């Protein structure tokens, strides 16, 4: 049961990292801001100042 | 315990050897796909347990007491200490693209054996090693890129060549990716409608994510996925509606123009509106589908219909011409060894690694996982009846444009198929025809649809699954197109900014428009060439893509070998020199054939001469353009080889200077800093 819980936690953490939800949480913590549409817009602006690399 | 572990590993080795034996030695009778899965898993396990551990200990000397850049430079933005398995998933999502799905499907024209062996051996001794060592060296250099490492460790020529090679491969990759989508969607109202609908769906997702539910990416992606499923079902209605079907039935040139316009628009509009939501949606569908396909193959254990070897190892293949060596090895790049991965391994991933020991699983293991995806693709293609496989993948220029001619030709190769069989197959997936759909995507979709429909829903769902598979491939191919155009645009801005500072400003709109236009024009020209090619375009462009991709791997392996030699570990340099030597043999031989081979189906110059002399039929108005295209392809291939030869020569000189003691070896590794005791587990 403990292993299953660890696996589920890891799976959710991985998915949140892949889909940038963890990065957004870090952005809010770093900038000491509350979650809002404006904060998310600034996060996206910062995140995509460099191109996303996707392999062939 | 140690004895038990030893027995276990001996068991794994014996099982792997038995599976390889079955794959390699069975002739004349179909084998079960599970043998490929067992062989692959055993080989990856042994490679990961023993070879990667050897490299980690002896070649790289990974050290957990040394702080990684994610720890030393932690800023909560780029540099973030992250759990090993989370980085593994992130890295895998970035490296797994359409390449490992399509290359093995195309290489299946030689039979399942050559491609399978190359995927397994190439990955374990080449691709995994490349990804692993480049990731480790980038971690030791604060997450520097391949181009930066080439410039610092090899020299200025190395840096410049890496830059040009990266830009060239991206341009060629984008043109091939776009051509595959065109060939999958031409004259297919169902497929075209579904893919067209992903654009407004992505726009809706972008607006939803920006205004209604900011930051809820998973929720938005799930909604996008549901909408895409509705689009697939709607596509069936469109294909049966006379008026709508006409609107969405596009020829290859029409689709090419639409994709070129789309590529330009996607690069120029704000990222949050189209590119980011599309990327999320594509990743959502990609990971889910790969997992379901793997489970489907494991559950159904389908039988491979394709023989181990076909007659086309002699170089007369209808999908692409050329003998087994070197063409099988450039046809499958991603899945065995892909230079493009070195860009990811020296991009975001090194900035997330919490402990040096994590690099082994992420770099080596991540590539092994992608290689396994390639094995799944090989299985999906080889479960098709060979006659159907060749009918779908062969261009009209080889087998004829009429169904009766094509099936007669394919049957004469001992792969029996009739026009009625093909009509039934097309009808079962809701298409008017499946002939001449070169590029690998439709054949893979057929194989996947057969596996999915056997597991879920039965035959009446085959058409839905086929179009789901086409949507899945086209969606993430177009995402590669969006993201790749933007990467190339940034590189172009960086390069051109040295001459004209205005062009270097990445946020300047005129600069964005000019450099996006130049990038799209470059890949659009190759795409147009492929679309108008009577041989289907894949025959010339896919080998060019494979050559470019593996030439980039040569650059990465040169950088890695240089660092190994400079680190006083020259006795272990065979680890990177062996795959480097193999790739040199493969890419240089393939390049030579593609430029100078006297067979017009292989050599660009021979094809140009045959067109000019009338030996190859073509419309009089098109001859000069086709001849120009052939000569352009020859020049591009030669240019790439010359550039890589330069970096090889500069690397060789550096190795000689260091090994002979003429130069004091200086690596640009970051100074050692003791890691904190607390760490991120993994």
Answer left, alpha or beta for residue B640, where phi above 0 means left and psi between -120 and 50 means alpha. Answer: alpha
Task: Give the separation between CA B436 and CA B339, rounded to whole angstroms.
Answer: 30
Which of chain B's residues have a Cβ under 8 Å away from the Cβ of A15? 89, 218
Whether A24 and chain B come into contact, CB under 8 Å, resolves to: yes
Q: Using an 8 Å Cβ cutoff, are B119 and B336 in contact?
A: yes
Q: How buried is B662 (Cβ within 10 angstroms: 0-12 exposed, 13-18 middle, 19+ buried)?
A: exposed
- Answer yes or no: do A21 and B217 touch at CB < 8 A: yes
Task: Give the separation between CA B145 and CA B136, rounded to whole angstroms.
Answer: 12
Q: Using an 8 Å Cβ cutoff, are B42 and B19 in contact?
A: yes
pLDDT of residue A56: 67
Give the CA distances from residue B121 to residues B60, B127, B131, B301, B584, in Å, rounded to whole numbers and listed in that order.
22, 9, 15, 23, 16
pLDDT higher than 60, residue B681: no
Confidence category of residue B348, pLDDT binned at 50, 70, 90: confident
pLDDT of residue B592: 97
Whether A6 and chain B come into contact, CB under 8 Å, resolves to: no
pLDDT of residue B656: 97
pLDDT higher than 70, residue B128: yes
Structure tokens at B549: 């991709």
SS3 of B38-54: HHHHHHHHHHHHHHHHH
Whether A32 and chain B come into contact, CB under 8 Å, resolves to: no
Confidence category of residue B249, pLDDT binned at 50, 70, 90: very high
* DSSP letter string, B512-554: HHHHHHHHHHHHHHHHHHHHT-TTTTHHHHHHHHHHHHHHHHH
More confident of the two residues B507 and B208: B208
Size of interface A-B (CB pairs under 8 A): 123
Which of chain B's residues have a Cβ under 8 Å away from the Cβ of A20? 217, 280
More confident of the two residues B569 and A56: B569
> How confident is the prediction for chain B on average, in pLDDT?
92
Chain A residue with minimum CA distance to B90: A18
pLDDT of residue B272: 87
- Answer yes or no: do A18 and B272 touch at CB < 8 A: no
- Answer yes or no: do B97 and A54 touch at CB < 8 A: yes
More confident of the two residues B49 and B30: B49
Task: Give the separation between CA B406 and CA B413, rounded to whole angstroms.
Answer: 11
Note the ipTM here: 0.88
pLDDT of residue B439: 85
Task: Give the separation between CA B477 and CA B465, rounded to whole angstroms.
Answer: 18
**Entry field: residues in chain A:** 56
pLDDT of residue B96: 87
Residue B226, Cβ neighbours under 10 Å: how many? 11
**Which of B75, B94, B218 comes nearest A55 by C-beta?**
B94
Task: Give the separation between CA B9 and CA B5, rounded to whole angstroms.
Answer: 6
Task: Give the separation between CA B61 and CA B564, rounded to whole angstroms.
Answer: 11
Give residue-wise pLDDT tens across range B264-318: 988 888 888 888 898 889 888 888 888 888 899 999 999 999 999 999 999 999 9
pLDDT higher than 80, residue B476: no
Chain A residue with minimum CA distance to B494: A50
* DSSP letter string, B195-229: HHHHHHHHHHHHHIIIIISTT-HHHHHHHHHHHHH
SS3 of B168-186: HHHHHHHHHHHHHHHHHHC
pLDDT higher than 60, residue B679: no
**Which of A18, A37, A56 comes nearest B214 by C-beta?**
A37
Q: Using an 8 Å Cβ cutoff, are B354 and B83 in contact?
A: yes
**pTM of this structure:** 0.92
Give the CA distances from residue B97 to residues B72, B286, B370, B479, B481, in Å, rounded to whole numbers and listed in that order.
32, 9, 9, 10, 11
pLDDT of residue B589: 97
- Answer yes or no: do B348 and A37 touch at CB < 8 A: no
| Segment holding A18, helix H or strand E | helix A2-18
Residue B638, Cβ neighbours under 10 Å: how many? 16
Q: Cα torsion at B268, B274, B277, B280 (round to 10°)?
A: -60
Give residue-wise pLDDT tens across range B518-545: 999 999 999 999 998 877 788 788 889 8
- Answer yes or no: do B214 and A20 touch at CB < 8 A: no
Domains and CATH numbers, chain B: 8-187+250-315+361-659 (1.20.1740)
Task: Give the separation between CA B326 and CA B100, rounded to whole angstroms.
Answer: 18
**Mean pLDDT to the nearest integer, B630-652:** 92
Which residues are paired to B66 by β-bridges? B674
Whether A8 and chain B come into contact, CB under 8 Å, resolves to: no
């Amino acid at each position: 049961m403990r292993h299953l819980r660890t696996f589920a936690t890891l799976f959710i953490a991985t998915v949140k990292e892949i889909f940038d939800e963890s990065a957004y949480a870090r952005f809010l913590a770093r900038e000491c801001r509350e979650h809002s549409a404006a904060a998310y817009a600034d996060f996206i602006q910062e995140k995509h100042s460099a191109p996303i690399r996707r392999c062939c | 315990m140690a004895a038990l572990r030893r027995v276990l590993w001996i068991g794994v080795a014996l099982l792997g050897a038995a599976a390889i034996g079955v794959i390699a030695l069975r002739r004349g009778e179909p084998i079960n796909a599970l043998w490929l899965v067992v062989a692959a898993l055993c080989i990856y396990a042994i490679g990961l347990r023993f070879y990667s551990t050897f490299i980690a200990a002896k070649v790289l000397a990974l050290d957990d007491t040394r702080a990684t850049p994610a720890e030393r430079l932690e800023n909560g933005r780029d540099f973030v200490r992250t759990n090993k398995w989370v980085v593994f998933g992130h890295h895998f999502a970035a490296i797994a693209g359409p390449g490992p799905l399509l290359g093995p499907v195309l290489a299946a024209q030689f039979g399942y054996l050559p491609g399978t062996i190359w995927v397994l051996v190439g990955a374990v001794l080449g691709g995994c090693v490349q990804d692993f060592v480049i990731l480790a060296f980038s971690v030791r250099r604060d997450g520097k890129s391949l181009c930066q490492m080439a410039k610092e460790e090899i020299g200025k020529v190395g840096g410049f060549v890496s830059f040009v090679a990266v830009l060239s491969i991206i341009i060629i990759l984008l043109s091939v990716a776009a051509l595959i989508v065109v060939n999958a969607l031409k004259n297919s109202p169902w497929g075209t409608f579904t893919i067209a609908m992903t654009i407004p769906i992505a726009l809706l997702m972008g607006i939803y994510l920006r205004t209604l539910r900011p930051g809820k990416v998973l929720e938005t992606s799930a909604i996008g996925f549901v909408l895409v499923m509705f689009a697939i079902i709607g596509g069936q209605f469109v294909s049966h509606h006379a008026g709508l079907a006409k609107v969405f039935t596009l020829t290859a040139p029409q689709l090419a123009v639409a994709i070129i316009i789309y590529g330009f628009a996607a690069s120029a509009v704000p990222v949050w509106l189209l590119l980011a939501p599309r990327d999320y949606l594509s990743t959502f569908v990609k990971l889910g589908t790969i997992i379901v396909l793997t489970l489907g193959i494991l559950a159904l254990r389908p039988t491979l219909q394709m023989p181990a070897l076909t007659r086309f190892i002699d170089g007369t293949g209808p999908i692409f011409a050329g003998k087994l060596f070197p063409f099988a090895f450039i046809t499958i790049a991603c899945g065995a060894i892909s230079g493009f991965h070195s860009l990811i391994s020296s991009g975001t991933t090194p900035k997330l690694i919490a402990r040096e020991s994590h690099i082994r699983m992420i770099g080596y293991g991540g590539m092994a996982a992608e290689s396994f995806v390639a094995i799944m693709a090989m299985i999906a293609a080889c479960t098709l009846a060979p006659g159907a496989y060749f009918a779908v993948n062969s261009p009209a220029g080889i087998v004829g444009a009429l169904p009766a001619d094509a099936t007669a030709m394919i049957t004469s190769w001992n792969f029996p198929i009739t026009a009625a069989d093909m009509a039934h197959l097309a009808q079962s997936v809701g298409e008017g025809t499946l002939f001449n759909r070169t590029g690998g995507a439709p054949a893979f979709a057929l194989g996947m649809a057969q596996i999915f429909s056997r597991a879920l829903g039965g035959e009446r769902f085959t058409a839905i699954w086929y179009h789901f598979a086409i949507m899945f491939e086209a969606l993430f191919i177009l995402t590669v197109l969006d993201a790749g155009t933007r990467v190339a645009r940034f590189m172009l801005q960086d390069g051109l900014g040295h001459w004209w500072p205005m062009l270097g400003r990445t946020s300047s709109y005129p600069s964005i428009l000019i450099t996006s236009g130049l990038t799209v024009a470059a890949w659009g020209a190759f795409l147009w060439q492929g679309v108008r090619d009577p041989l289907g375009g894949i025959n010339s462009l896919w080998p060019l893509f494979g050559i470019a991709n593996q030439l980039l791997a040569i650059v990465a392996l040169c950088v890695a070998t240089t660092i190994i030699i400079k680190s006083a570990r020259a006795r272990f340099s065979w680890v990177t020199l062996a795959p480097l030597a193999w790739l040199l043999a493969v890419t240089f031989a393939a390049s030579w054939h593609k430029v100078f081979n006297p067979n017009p189906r292989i050599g660009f110059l021979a094809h140009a001469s045959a067109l000019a002399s009338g030996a190859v039929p073509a419309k009089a108005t098109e001859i000069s353009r086709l001849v120009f295209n052939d000569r352009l392809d020859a020049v591009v291939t030669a240019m790439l080889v010359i550039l890589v030869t330069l970096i090889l020569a500069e690397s060789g000189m550096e190795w000689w200077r260091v090994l002979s003691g003429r130069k004091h070896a200086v690596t640009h590794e970051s100074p050692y800093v003791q890691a904190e005791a607390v760490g991120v587990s993994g």
